[in-house]
Each structure stands twice: as structure tokens, then as C-alpha cells.
């Protein structure tokens, strides 16, 4: 991934590398020039304007180095930030394509941590680490060349004696830092998960009096994350003492050997001064080595967590290329499905279900809780694939249709609709961004929610808050119904979407749906409900029990049958009377 990105942005990396090469050349030139100035001053050959000129040249070199360092950072970090943006886009795109089965094995907090901390670590490895490594390596080689070739090879070799010990220390520190960085990222994911769950379920926590316990759990996870981050930083900080001790020992050796060589008149005082300055310049390459290793280890640990998510196979394929014929009839033939992880002896969620829904017709699906009603909708939306049997639209199996085509054909209203942190109007117009205010209001009237919206503080411009928290359950359901009606899809699926409204509002919505059939005679409707009054005018009603169709027919036919439907109808009528 990093190699491909560097190749793609070779101009930015090449320009930054050229700037760093100029910086390194000027950096090693400065001590040599200082040594020359010192020797000339000792010999009495540099005075007045000549001395000022030499000092001005050194100042100019320092200014150029400063400007070049600013330039390479601007070039490099721009490219690195593009990598971060690309990774986040790729991660979001991959997650958006995954089916519900994938997310059943994932934690939201971990996925959020991947998009923040982990990608930041990879971004730093691609930016700061790569160029700092290049800069440090180049400076090190040039400085060592000047120390050993331009000044004295014996002095250079003597000063390098402690460096193998520093390399061994770096290897040992890097091993521990990788584990510590991985643990730190994992603990941050745990903390993210706790925050997400606590905020999403804050009402439940308050109702059950569990706020204090939740605070204690959060404090515990925050402490664990802080300790893990501290351990990672502690190992990262261990590079600095290793560098300091190595350079201190190298300086002592250089001064001892250099003093002996000066006493023997084999090198000059100016050369020893330059050599000492070169030793000082080794501080940056050594610190850069520790810094680069730390960033790379964090990047490796982050990539080890990120790569499996980016490369995870899609739980649903989108390889269909067939066109959807007009006036498509929906058919289920021998549909069988079991949830992943269900035991061999457990009953399938759906077992041999057959149904037909022609254009312009309404199908009612009823049954006890857990009968398989919503599971059938999941298969229709291709949120899961059947184990056996097939679903077809216009004779075309659903996997042969592009997902975009299939989902544009269906407007789905779940039992627990999701509203975004936007205005009421924006939430209704979600499936049709170009809708006019008149279109939005017309859809709201059909969903019997216009009067409720009009009573809000700012009407359709009212912000509903996260997940529609400012609206009641019935209002959220009706806003979702209005959104589905505005989409004007050929198949409308109401998955127990009237459960939170009263019977009068339910009747009004169903009456509006019947009126729509006149304007859109090819629109089919699937109504899943617990209240049988919602399906009494459907063209066909099927009754599911433990995944099987046990009864089917019109409302009148099922009442005459005297089975589960008739019994449940009588019970609900008595309940309504009481």
C-alpha cells in the first residue's frame, strides 16, 4: 500500500528528497567551513571584511537550510494527508458494501478507532517516518564520510566504536515497542466501544440506574488505555537515552584520541573542532533513527489491525448485470434460511416459503414474534442470502440484479427507523435530494405526520437530533414512511412500521396508500404487522409460524378457516373493545 502510494506521488517525494539532499550537503559543509575559518584565524590570515564575509556565508547557509526544511515538510505532509484521506475513504467504502452479517462480528468502537488512531499511525509512517528516515540516513552517511575521509579515518573509526551497542539497544526497544503500540491501539478501541454503547443506550442506563456503574467501567477502560499509551511512549522514549549515552561515549573517545593526534601535530585544532561539530550533527540522524523506528512500529501495528478490515471479503456480492423488467412480479420459491451460528438441530428461520406478489397487489405477512417475518424482508433486500430456494423479480434471481437497481426498486420502512441529525425535511427528502418543499409536504400528509410537523418549533426546518431523539416513536415511524413514499419505488415494504401509531392514524395511512394505488397502479406493497387490522384489505395474507407458511388467503378466507389468524383476530377485537 505504501509503496504504491509513494510511486503515485513520486514527484512530491522526489522534490522533498532533493531538498533534503541539499540540506544534508549544506549541513556537512558548515562544520568544514567553520574548521577552515578557525585554522585561518589561528594563522592570522582572516580579518575585517573577509571575516564578516565568511560569517555572512554561514548565516546565509543556515537561512537556506531553514527554507528548504519548510519546503520539504509542506510537500511531504500534503502527500501523507492525502494517504490518510484515501485510507479513510477506502475504509468507509468497504464497510458500506459489507452486509449485516459482517457487522455482527465487529464492534462499532473498534471500527471508529481504525478510522482515527490507526489511520493516523499509518499516515505518520508514510509521511514523517519515510522522509525522516531518508534525511537521517543521508546525513549520517555524509557526516561519517567527512569524519573519516576529510578529517582523519583513525579518529572516525574510534568515535564509531560505541555505535554497534546503540544498534543492539534499538533492536531490543523496537521489539517491545511494537507490542506496546498494538496494545495501545486495541485499548483505545475498547474505550471507543464503551463510549459508543453508553451514549447510544444512555436512556436505558438512566432508567435502570446504571449510570454510576457505566462511569466506573468507562474510568477503568480510560485508565487501561492511558496505561497502554504510557507504556508505548515509555518504550519510544527509551530511544533517547540510548542515543545520548552513545554520543556521549563517542565524544569522550573522540576528544581523547583527537587530543592525542593534535599533540602529535597529525591534525589541526580546526580539524578537531570540525570533527566535534560533526559528532554533534550525528545527534539528528541518531534521534531520527529512534523516531523513525517508533513511527514504523506504530504504523505496522496499525496496519495489522486495518488490513484485515480493508481486505475482508464482502458478505454480499454485487456482480449482477441483468436489467429489471417493467411490471416485475416478486416470487419466493422454497425459500429456506438459517442464521449463521445456529446449531444443526435448531429450526431454520425460514423453511420452504413460497409466495407471489404481482404488480399493484398488496401482500400481508403476519405471525407471532420470531416467526420469520423480518427475516423474509432481509432476504428480499439482499441483506442475507438464502440457504436454499430463490427470490426472483420478473423471473430474474435477485443476485443477478445490481444491488443499486434492486434497492432503487424497493422502499423499505423498518420497525425501528433511523433518522439522521438533520431537519425533518432533510430526513424525508433523503431518498430524493431534489424534492421540492411541496413534494416533501405531500409525502408527509400521506404518512399522516404533517400536522405533527407543523406543531414543531420550526416546522419542517426543525432539527430532529441524533437518531430523531426529539420525536416520538410514532412520529419517527411516520417520517420514515413519508421518506419511503417520496422515493416512489415500485415496491413498498412496511416492516411492522405502524406498530407505534394508534389505530386511527394507522387507518388514515392505509387509506392514503389505497388512494396512491389509483395514481400508481403498478406499485406493490408488503405489509408486515402484528395488528391484523393493518392487513385486512390485502389481496393476500400469509401466516408464518416457526418459519413456515401455515395459512394463506384473503382476510375473509382466513377468518372462515378458523385457524391462527381467526383466533388472533377475535382476540384483538376483544382487546380493542375493552
- Identify the residue with better confidence: 436 or 503: 436
> Which of 265, 284, 311 represents a domain boundary (last residue)?
311
Helices 473-487 and 503-519, axial angle in degrees (round to 10): 0
- Cβ-based neighbour number of residue 467 at 10 Å: 15
What per-residue confidence (pLDDT) applies to 44? Answer: 65
| Cα angle for residues 202, 203, 204 (degrees, 5° grid) | 90
What per-residue confidence (pLDDT) applies to 276? Answer: 75
Is 320 part of a structural domain of the chain?
no
Render pLDDT for 171-212 as a digit per residue (tens, 0 to 9). Answer: 787 777 777 877 887 887 788 777 777 776 776 777 777 778
Share of the chain above pLDDT 90, in %: 4
Which ranges constitute the DSSP H helices of 201-316? Answer: 202-207, 211-237, 239-263, 269-281, 283-311
What per-residue confidence (pLDDT) applies to 363? Answer: 92
What per-residue confidence (pLDDT) applies to 10? Answer: 66
- Identify the residue with better confidence: 330 or 258: 330
Are residues 220 and 363 both part of a single domain? no
Are residues 405 and 476 both part of a single domain? yes
Do residues 221 and 188 lie in contact, with contact meaning Cβ atoms separated by under 8 Å?
no
Rounded average pLDDT over 159-178: 77
Closest CA to 121 of 301, 308, 309: 301
- The CATH number assigned to the domain holding 257 equals 1.20.1560.10
pLDDT band at 151 (very low <50, low <70, confident <90, very high): confident
For the CA atoms of 7, 9, 13, 18, the dihedral, rounded to the nearest 10 degrees, stands at 100
| Domain of 478, in residue numbers | 330-577
Are residues 67 and 135 both part of a single domain? yes
- Cβ-based neighbour number of residue 543 at 10 Å: 24
Instruction: Give pairs for 152-157: CB < 8 Å, separation 24+.
Output: 152/261, 152/266, 152/267, 152/271, 152/275, 154/257, 154/261, 155/254, 155/257, 155/258, 155/261, 155/267, 155/275, 156/275
Above 60 in pLDDT, residue 13? yes
Q: What is the C-alpha to C-alpha distance for residues 268 and 274, in angstroms, rounded to an integer?
A: 10
Are residues 305 and 370 both part of a single domain? no
> Which of 283, 311, 339 represents a domain boundary (last residue)?
311
Are residues 259 and 351 both part of a single domain? no
Is 572 part of a structural domain of the chain?
yes
Is 175 part of a structural domain of the chain?
yes
- The CATH number assigned to the domain holding 341 equals 3.40.50.300
Is 268 part of a structural domain of the chain?
yes
Is 484 part of a structural domain of the chain?
yes
- SS3 label, residue 458: coil
- Identify the residue with better confidence: 306 or 151: 306
Helices 283-311 and 211-237, axial angle in degrees (round to 10): 140
Least confident range from 51-55, 89-93, 120-124, 317-321: namely 51-55
What per-residue confidence (pLDDT) applies to 42? Answer: 66
Render pLDDT for 380-416 as a digit per residue (tens, 0 to 9). Answer: 888 888 889 888 988 888 888 888 888 888 888 888 8
Is 202 part of a structural domain of the chain?
yes
Cell representation of residue 44: 592570522
Do residues 243 and 166 lie in contact, with contact meaning Cβ atoms separated by under 8 Å?
yes
Are residues 292 and 361 both part of a single domain? no
Above 60 in pLDDT, residue 344? no
> Which of 260, 277, 311 represents a domain boundary (last residue)?
311
Above 80 in pLDDT, residue 143? no
Render pLDDT for 370-380 as a digit per residue (tens, 0 to 9). Answer: 888 888 988 88
Are residues 298 and 386 both part of a single domain? no
Are residues 303 and 366 both part of a single domain? no
Above 80 in pLDDT, residue 114? yes
Q: What is the C-alpha to C-alpha distance for residues 536 and 266, in angstroms, rounded to an integer?
A: 109
Share of the chain above pLDDT 70, in %: 89
Render pLDDT for 437-460 as a digit per residue (tens, 0 to 9). Answer: 898 888 888 888 888 888 888 888
Above 80 in pLDDT, residue 137? no
- Placement of cell 433511523 in the chain: 418
pLDDT band at 542 (very low <50, low <70, confident <90, very high): very high
Are residues 294 and 395 both part of a single domain? no
What per-residue confidence (pLDDT) applies to 268? Answer: 73
Is 231 part of a structural domain of the chain?
yes
The total number of structural domains that make up the chain: 2
- Identify the residue with better confidence: 111 or 272: 111
The CA-atom distances, in angstroms, between 537 and each of 359, 526, 540, 562 are: 16, 12, 8, 18
Above 80 in pLDDT, residue 478? yes
Render pLDDT for 30-74 as a digit per residue (tens, 0 to 9). Answer: 766 776 677 676 666 666 676 677 777 778 877 887 787 777 677
Q: What is the C-alpha to C-alpha distance for residues 230 and 251, in angstroms, rounded to an integer?
A: 32
Are residues 11 and 99 both part of a single domain? yes
Are residues 338 and 278 both part of a single domain? no
Above 60 in pLDDT, residue 15? yes
pLDDT band at 5 (very low <50, low <70, confident <90, very high): low
Are residues 89 and 17 both part of a single domain? yes
Is 111 part of a structural domain of the chain?
yes
Amino acid at each position: 500500500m505504501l509503496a504504491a502510494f509513494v510511486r503515485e506521488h513520486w514527484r512530491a517525494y522526489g522534490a522533498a528528497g532533493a531538498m533534503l539532499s541539499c540540506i544534508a550537503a549544506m549541513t556537512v559543509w558548515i562544520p568544514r567551513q567553520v574548521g577552515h575559518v578557525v585554522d585561518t584565524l589561528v594563522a592570522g590570515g582572516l580579518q575585517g571584511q573577509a571575516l564578516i564575509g565568511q560569517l555572512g556565508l554561514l548565516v546565509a547557509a543556515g537561512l537556506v537550510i531553514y527554507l528548504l526544511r519548510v519546503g520539504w515538510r509542506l510537500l511531504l505532509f500534503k502527500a501523507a494527508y492525502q494517504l490518510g484521506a484515501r485510507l479513510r475513504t477506502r475504509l468507509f467504502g468497504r464497510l458500506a458494501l459489507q452486509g449485516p452479517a459482517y457487522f455482527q462480528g465487529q464492534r462499532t468502537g473498534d471500527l471508529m478507532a481504525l478510522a482515527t488512531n490507526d489511520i493516523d499511525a499509518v499516515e505518520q509512517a508514510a509521511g514523517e517516518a519515510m522522509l525522516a528516515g531518508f534525511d537521517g540516513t543521508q546525513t549520517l552517511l555524509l557526516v561519517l564520510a567527512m569524519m573519516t575521509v576529510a578529517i582523519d579515518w583513525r579518529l572516525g573509526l574510534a568515535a564509531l566504536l560505541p555505535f554497534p551497542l546503540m544498534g543492539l539497544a534499538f533492536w531490543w526497544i523496537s521489539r517491545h515497542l511494537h507490542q506496546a503500540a498494538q496494545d495501545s491501539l486495541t485499548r483505545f478501541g475498547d474505550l471507543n466501544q464503551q463510549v459508543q454503547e453508553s451514549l447510544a443506550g444512555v436512556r436505558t442506563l438512566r432508567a435502570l440506574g446504571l449510570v454510576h456503574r457505566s462511569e466506573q467501567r468507562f474510568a477503568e477502560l480510560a485508565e487501561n488505555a492511558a496505561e497502554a499509551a504510557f507504556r508505548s511512549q515509555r518504550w519510544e522514549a527509551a530511544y533517547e537515552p540510548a542515543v545520548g549515552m552513545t554520543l556521549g561515549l563517542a565524544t569522550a573517545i573522540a576528544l581523547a584520541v583527537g587530543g592525542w593526534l593534535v599533540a602529535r601535530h597529525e591534525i589541526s585544532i580546526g580539524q578537531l573542532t570540525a570533527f566535534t561539530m560533526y559528532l554533534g550533527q550525528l545527534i539528528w540522524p541518531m534521534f531520527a533513527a529512534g523516531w523513525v523506528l517508533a513511527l514504523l512500529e506504530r504504523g505496522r501495528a496499525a496496519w495489522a489491525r486495518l488490513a484485515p478490515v480493508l481486505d475482508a471479503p464482502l458478505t454480499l456480492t454485487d456482480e449482477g448485470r441483468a436489467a429489471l423488467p417493467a411490471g416485475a412480479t416478486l416470487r419466493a420459491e422454497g425459500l429456506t434460511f438459517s442464521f449463521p451460528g445456529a446449531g444443526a438441530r435448531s429450526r431454520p428461520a425460514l423453511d420452504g416459503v413460497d409466495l407471489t406478489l404481482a404488480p399493484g397487489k398488496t401482500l400481508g405477512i403476519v405471525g407471532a414474534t420470531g416467526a420469520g417475518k423480518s427475516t423474509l424482508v432481509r432476504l428480499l433486500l439482499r441483506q442475507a442470502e438464502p440457504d436454499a430456494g430463490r427470490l426472483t423479480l420478473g423471473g430474474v434471481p435477485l443476485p443477478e440484479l445490481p444491488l443499486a437497481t434492486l434497492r432503487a426498486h424497493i422502499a423499505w420502512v423498518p420497525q425501528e427507523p433511523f433518522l439522521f441529525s438533520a431537519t425533518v425535511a432533510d430526513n424525508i427528502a433523503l431518498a430524493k435530494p431534489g424534492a421540492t418543499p411541496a413534494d416533501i409536504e405531500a409525502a408527509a400528509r400521506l404518512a399522516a405526520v404533517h400536522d405533527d410537523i407543523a406543531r414543531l418549533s420550526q416546522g419542517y426546518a426543525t432539527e430532529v437530533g441524533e437518531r430523531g431523539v426529539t420525536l416520538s416513536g410514532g412520529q419517527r415511524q411516520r417520517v420514515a414512511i413519508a421518506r419511503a413514499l417520496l422515493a416512489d419505488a415500485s415496491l413498498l415494504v412496511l416492516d411492522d412500521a405502524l406498530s407505534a401509531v394508534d389505530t386511527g392514524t394507522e387507518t388514515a395511512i392505509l387509506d392514503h396508500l389505497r388512494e396512491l394505488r389509483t395514481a400508481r397502479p403498478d406499485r406493490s406493497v408488503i405489509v408486515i404487522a402484528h395488528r391484523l387490522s393493518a392487513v385486512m384489505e390485502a389481496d393476500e395474507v400469509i401466516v408464518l409460524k416457526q418459519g413456515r407458511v401455515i395459512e394463506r388467503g384473503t382476510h375473509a378466507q382466513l377468518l372462515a378457516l378458523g385457524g391462527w389468524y381467526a383466533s388472533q383476530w377475535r382476540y384483538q377485537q376483544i382487546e380493542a373493545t375493552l
